[in-house]
Amino acid sequence: MTVAEAPLLLMLVGLAAYAVLGGADFGAAFWQLGARGERGAALREHAYRAMGPVWEANHVWLVFVLVICWTAYPEAFASIFSTLTVPLFVAALGIILRGTAYAVHAGTAREIERRMIDAVFSLSSILTPFALGTAVGAIASGRVPVGNARGDLVTSWLNPSSLAIGVLAVATGAYIAAVYLAGDARRAGDRELTAAFRLRALAAGIGTGGIAFAALIVVALDAGRVGERLLEWPALATVAASGAAGVLTLALVRRSRFEAARYCASGAVASVVAGWALAQRPQLLPGLTVAEAAAGRPTLIATVVGVALGGLVLIPSLAILFGLVLRGRFDPETATETLAPRLRPSPARRVSLLGVAIALGAVGLLLVLIFDGGALLIAGVIALLGFVALASLAIVSARTATGCRTKW
């Protein structure tokens, strides 16, 4: 692997993470569609609850892929977005509708409101992965030429490969979601929901396997170079691995071993992303190899180093979040009584907070007005920010205390 390929590898990791985690969030909404009656309501609530703490973080993987693409492979990014304007814009609208529906669903009180919001949420959750899938199909089948909107506005994404991958993206999400939701339901001790999602996971697993197989044939016939190479070593190995992981997941779900199935299903989806990359390597777009598309060396190195440093923060943070979620700490049953804080007598202050704040403000004001740049100006700005922060604390704490005499 060369420096030119390193950011691509990061993008693929991000894409796999988005396909698995973001896909599961889309899929959870898929199962809400058509869930009616009392059991349907329980099912819908379960899906919303499972997504609640994680969907925003999962969504960021998409942004992560985009920003690395435009930093490290700017011409490829520009070609893709200008030719695939239609599906990508549709995906963008789908993302707005979905996020909005999620933000407001908690406030729904009446049946009619709830139904409307749920419908918007489910439909946009199907539309978005479908549109993104068609874009992937367009790239894989070599329908995005290099240049500003040089490809066809319609047939670039409305073609057999795009449609096959679009449908596969929706199906995959539904399948992973069912596996995850079954696991979450069992952790919460809800037998009925566990059984319901187990059944859905089995059905979706078989269905998705079938769709994946059909999509493979369509892509092999339609996608030219990538289609041929998908059935050759080394891409074929990942395709086979994906199939095997899919079958294994089914077996695990059948035995209700949902935790193992969770990782196995994720592996099945990630393998598909890897297979696509291997089949397409080293071409990024027709006539543009990864090496040709890559930005200059300083940018590539800065990107990789930046992501590595970011990863030092991101990985432990994700571990905390998913640790809490998977241990069921955010499940509704685990809420405790409100714990009282341990109060410590606040130390008697020698200097008043407000006094310090005002001194900082005066110094900051002078420095910022006098200097046009340099360290003293920066010091002045920091002093001014310190003034706002400390004075806010001092005033608010004095003004809001229980015993304070201030009135309106």
Partner 1 sequence: MTFPIVAAAAPFAPVDQEYLFEARQMQALSFAVHIPIVCFGIAFPAFVLMLEGFWLRTGDPLYRTIAKRWSKVMLALFAVGVVTGTILSFELGLLWPNFMAAFGEVFGLGFTLEAFSFFVEAIFIAIYVYGWDRLSPRAHFLSGIPVLLAGFTGSLMVLTVNAWMNNPGGFALEGGRVTDVRPLEALFGNEYLWHELIHMYLAGYIVAGFLTASVYAWGWLKGRRGRYERVALIVPLTVAALAAPVQIVVGDWAARSVAGEQPTKLAAFEGLYETEAGAPVHLGGWYDGDEIRYGIPLPRLLSLLAFHDPNARVAGLEEVPADERPPVNVVRVAFQTMVGIGFLLAAIGAVYLLVWLRRKQLPRSAWFYRAVVAAGPLSVVALIAGWVTTEVGRQPWVVYGHMRTEAAVTGASGIPVGYASLVLVYAGLLAATVWILRRLARAPVDVQPGPAGVAPLVAGAARPQAGERE
Which residues inside 373-392 make contact with partner 1, applying CB under 8 A?
373, 377-378, 381, 384-385, 387-388, 391-392
Using the contact rule CB under 8 A, the part of the chain among 99-107, 168-176, 220-228, 239-247 near partner 1 is 99-107
Q: Is 340 in the site for partner 1 (CB under 8 A)?
A: yes
Q: Is 321 in the site for partner 1 (CB under 8 A)?
A: yes
In whole angstroms, the minimum distance from the beta carbon of 179 to partner 1 comes to: 22
Contact between 105 and 13 under an 8 Å Cβ cutoff? The reply is no
Q: Is 99 in the site for partner 1 (CB under 8 A)?
A: yes
The H-assigned helical ranges of 223-331 are: 224-230, 235-254, 258-280, 290-293, 297-326
Sign of CA dihedral 278, 282, 284, 285: negative
By the 10 Å C-beta count (0-12 exposed, 13-18 middle, 19+ buried), 160 is classed as middle
Which residues inside 198-227 make contact with partner 1, applying CB under 8 A?
none
In whole angstroms, the minimum distance from the beta carbon of 64 to partner 1 comes to: 5
Q: Which one of 343, 348, 351, 375 is in contact with partner 1 (CB under 8 A)? A: 343
Which residues inside 280-299 make contact with partner 1, applying CB under 8 A?
295-296, 298-299
List the structure tokens of 62. 């998409």
Q: Which is nearer to partner 1, 191 or 375 (CB)?
A: 375
List the structure tokens of 371. 């200097």
The secondary element (H helix, E strand) that includes residue 397 is: helix 375-400
Q: Which one of 37, 111, 112, 337 is in contact with partner 1 (CB under 8 A)? A: 337
Which residues inside 17-56 make contact with partner 1, applying CB under 8 A?
52-54, 56
Contacts 24+ apart (CB under 8 A), 37-44: 39/192, 39/196, 42/190, 42/192, 42/193, 43/193, 43/196, 44/118
Using the contact rule CB under 8 A, the part of the chain among 182-190, 242-250, 271-279, 324-332 near partner 1 is 324-332
Q: Is 128 in the site for partner 1 (CB under 8 A)?
A: no
Q: Is 188 in the site for partner 1 (CB under 8 A)?
A: no
Measure the CA–CA gap between 279 and 281, rounded to whole angstroms.
6
Separation of CA 48 from chain center:
16
* Beta strand spans in 44-191 (E): none
In whole angstroms, the minimum distance from the beta carbon of 320 to partner 1 comes to: 7
In whole angstroms, the minimum distance from the beta carbon of 221 to partner 1 comes to: 25
